[in-house]
Structure 1
Amino acid sequence: MKIPARFVTLALAAGLAAPLPALAVDTPDAANAKSYAVRIPVTPVPDAPLQRLLLPAEALVRLQSAGYADLRLFNAAGQPVPMALASVPTQTSTQEQSVKLPAYPILGAEGAGAAGLEGLSLRIEERQGKRVVQLNTGKATTASAAPQKVLGALLDARKLKEPVAAMTLDADLPVGQPVTFNVQASKDLKSWRPLADTVLYRADASSAAASLGDTRLDLSMADLKDHYLRISWGGAAVTVRGATLLTSQSTAVRQRVSATMAVPALTNAHELVFALPFATPVAALKITPQGRNVLVPIRVLGRNNREQAWALLATSVVYRLGAAGKEQSSGPVELGGASVREVKIEADAKTPGFAAAPEIALQFEPAQLVFLAGGPGPFTLAAGLPGPAGAAAAFLPMASLVPGYKASQENTLPQAQLDISRIDVTGGAVAGPLVAAQAGGDGIPTRSLVLWGILLLGVLALAGMAWVLMKQTKKTD
């Protein structure tokens, strides 16, 4: 039986014209504070037109735009106020560490005194298992035959990598005799440059430390890598056992914003997949294995939907080790500001993997709003619009918001405060972790389901038309 072409065309049209499920949610009115996922009261600084506000984790974990477009600040009249987005400046952190260096005696001819060290090079010798420093006068026979005494001390500072701020001597001083100490540095034990000097005086024999003088020598952040230090003190009867050097390192750090996350379900020991309900770029993941003495090499991958292939974000080793009552855990796994909707953590197949799902915390780079406190208060910070489109960004250039703007001027503005205790979350406040544990989707993608649905509708339409034609053919026969 031949089916008329017009029936086939009608069947295909019926299948393709079937209504498709909506894949996008209509964007709500960006000027309505009630449309946002979270609203936080803001207390501005009185009588300050321009202010700044640090963005909290409660807002960052609900943004649906990687560029913070769905972020607004409303006044009491429901009007969005002019604002600009800015990064948070780094803070200088200084780390100090004490390094103890032993002193090696410098031997020279009797009666040479401190002046005998000037213009002479040194050589290091091993004598009966001990290291001593000998003056190199160029007259080895005469020097070795003459009586020798300790003229100074040598410190080996070649392994110091950080600048040295100060030095404290560990020395025994004679009673009632001022002693002048001179500290010099050299790379080759021939050419010396002065670093510091001090005069110490011990008045009482019962006291081991100096009574007068500054025992701490300021070295003015000297770079002593690959250097030797020479300490001389004239002809006084002094014993220098060593010195303590205080190294100092200044680093620029930016305090990140951290958000707790509920422990996701572990599908198997070597794979953990979870979804992120926001689009805010993630700076790092703090992954802490559960248990004791656990070490797992991992890979972190990410994607935005199931149609995409997994992309490698980072490789690292996470651990939790405990010994002698002290526990050590691995640092954050840097993701470089990745904006992904799904994350997969893969454990190395050569290891047992995770016995239980690890604890996970999200870290974000800090950001701040600079705004004009216009209109009546109080003010409200709103974040997070539903739907993939979110909202159009409302940020102004900093030069347009701040008259006569200069670089980093926003960091000098007064800082408004947030009242997190009065946070208003759509759907009710969530107790516990800020980010819920949502399972990642490894099933059939939504797009594939839609296409299969369309195909199935077309097949059913064709089957229906064929059945109708068969009935009509039987009646005709």
Structure 2
Amino acid sequence: MMRSLRLAGMVLALGALVAAAPAAQSDDPHAYAMRIPIVVGSRSTVQRLAIPAAALAASRTANLADVRVFDAADRPMPIARVAPAAGPAQRYDLVTLPILGAADALTITGVSLRLDGEGHARATQIDGTPAGRPTDSVILGVLLDTRAIKQSARALLLDADMPEAQPVTFTVEASADLKDWRPLAEQVVYRTPGHTPPRLNLGDTALENEYIRITWRAASRLLAPVTVRKAVLLTRPAAAAAVSIAASLPPLGDAHAAEFAMPSASALDTIQIVPTGTDMIIPVRIFGRDDRERSWTLLGTGTAVAAITSATATRSIALDGGPYRMIRIEADARSAGFTSPPLIHLGFSPRAILFVAAGKPPYILASGRAGATDLYLPAETVMTQASNGSVSSATVQAPQGTLQLAAVSDANALRRQMLLWSILLVATALLATMAWRVWKHGIASRAGPNS
């Protein structure tokens, strides 16, 4: 008991010494990966600065805790976060229009096979007669008229019946002419007793005077029909355009997959993929995960389209998910894939800060330091230094260039290998010890008590 009390006292004393110790290193702007010059406005001491994509891509913390503003004397200036503007979510109750198709269009009455003299099949013939006018029809999907909705589609809530305990894959597509369809989402839904209505995430896809089509399928024959009675579309007003930075992928190891390590701890908002070489149009899916021990999480779907001219704008793919350390671009298996690495642009949600320009100019914006302490102040505290409540807009001279993305490296592979070898060596040593003891006991038993 006394020994436990002495040990607890030593631990508490050690904790007090660590807490009272000064910081090992002061905040040094040269310890940050990215440093960008700032041009301050002239009307106010308090400046509002939109963080450029290069600084967002360099950040090593998810909440941008490693963003700083330094003056010419390397002193950090007081800063505050600017809350991002977010519109309220809205709901639209949509009537489902059935998409019908014939259940059986051809009745087969017989199959014949013609063989040559050597017994090899040279020709086949199907003796069938088209059935009369189809009398039975099945529902192949539902159509939603969303042409009047000009906002970003976030999710679909379905009032639907579906078989229990059977995974059903729902596919959501959009089209302006009911002929050419672009994929919005594909999601597997598993119904359990007392299940909630299926929610299909659309990843804030912008609707442009389009219809939405929902179809479904299963790996085997459906045990019960799927019926979608009503759909509710959740939207929000279109947010400010993402700030993006051009990036180059590492060499492809697979024509249908490109993986890279995210250079930033910030979540990707969009990704733009432009095929190169002879590649033209490739349906893609975007996945994310934190390490190789986890499964891939679907972040968004879309189409990579080559730019025909310099004025051709390729649609960015909206991503719905948090920050991930690894990103995978997967081409549709039915396509030829990528013959060369595509060009990409990484898009981040717009972020801004307030800072007090109370030091010695010029000022720099610094970003990119793992483990940095969060030094943000409340915005109202920073605004006490604004004369008449006015704020000036500062700008940055963002560096031009292309971000070089690195291939995914398994940093834990060596550690896991060493752990496995250690376990193997320990197990071998234990077996050897047990075998030696058994052998020694056997020798002693054969020698007898008189030996």
TM-score scaled to structure 2, two decimals? 0.52
Which residue matches 1:279?
265
- Identify the residue that residue 417 of structure 2 maps to in structure 1: 449
Name which of 28, 35, 48 aligns with 1:32: 28
| Structure 1 residue 300: Cα displacement | 0.6
- Give the distance between the partners of 1:344 and 1:162, measured in 2 at CA: 31
Please say if 1:368 is aligned against 2:337.
no
Shift of 1:321: 6.8
Q: Determine the structure 2 residue equivalent to 1:212.
A: none
- Counterpart selection for 2:407 from 433, 439, 442: 439
Q: Distance in 2 between matches of 1:28 and 1:297?
A: 51
Partner Cα distance (1:326, 1:36) in 2: 35
Q: Which residue of 2 aligns with 1:298?
A: 284
Task: Provide Cα deviations, 1:400-424, integer angstroms capped at 9, x if missing partner.
Answer: 221399xxx99x6212232446xxx
Partner in structure 2 of residue 391 of structure 1 = 372
Shift of 1:54: 1.7
User: What is the alpha-carbon distance in structure 1 between the residues aligned to residue 383 and residue 314 of structure 2?
Assistant: 42
Distance 1:296 1:56 in 2: 30
Please list, as runs of the form range in 1=range in 2, the aligned pairs for 1:20-59 lying within 5 A after superposition: 29=25, 31-46=27-42, 48-59=44-55
Q: Indicate the residue corresponding to 1:342 in structure 2.
A: 326
Question: How much has 1:283 moved relative to structure 2?
Answer: 0.9
Which whole-Å CA distance do the structure 2 matches of 1:330 and 1:419 have between them?
26
Which one of 53, 77, 80 corresponds to residue 81 of structure 1? 77
Going from structure 1 to structure 2, the CA distance change for 1:344 and 1:442 (only over 3 Å counts) comes to: farther
In the alignment, structure 1 segments of 5+ residues that lack a partner are 1-26, 91-159, 164-250, 422-430
Q: Does 1:319 align with 2:305?
A: yes
Letter in 1 for 2:46: L
Check whether the contact 2:46–2:385 (CA below 8 A) recurs between aligned residues. Answer: no
Amino acid paired to 2:402: P
* Match of residue 384, structure 2, among 380, 394, 403: 403
Unaligned runs of 5+ in 2: 1-22, 87-146, 151-236
Matches within 5 A, 1:68-217: 68-87=64-83
Shift of 1:75: 2.4
Aligned mates of 2:55, 2:398 — CA distance in 1? 10
How many equivalent pairs are there? 275
> 1:292 deviation in Å?
4.7
Contact 2:82 2:353 in 1 (8 A): yes
The residue that corresponds to 1:146 in the other structure is none
Deviation string for 1:380-413 (max 9, x for gaps)?
Answer: 2211113xxx2232112212221399xxx99x62
CA RMSD of superposed structures (Å): 4.0
* SS state at 2:259 partner: strand
Aligned to 1:135: none
* Residue number in structure 2 paired with 1:187: none
Identity across the alignment (%): 30
Given that 1:28 and 1:35 are in contact with CA atoms closer than 8 Å, whether structure 2 keeps it comes out as no
Specify whether residues 321 and 43 from structure 1 end up closer, same or farther in structure 2 by C-alpha distance, changes over 3 A only: closer
CA distance in 2, matches of 1:332, 1:420: 22
Give how far 1:313 is off. Answer: 0.4
Deviations 1:228-261 (A, max 9, x none): xxxxxxxxxxxxxxxxxxxxxxx96624321111
3-state DSSP of counterpart to 2:285: strand
Deviations 1:330-371 (A, max 9, x none): 400111363111111111112212222211111112211101
Deviation of the 1:44 alpha carbon: 2.6
User: Are the equivalent residues in 2 in contact too, given 1:320–1:327 (CA < 8 A)?
Assistant: no
Letter in 1 for 2:263: P
- How far the C-alpha of 1:32 sits from its partner, in A, is 2.0
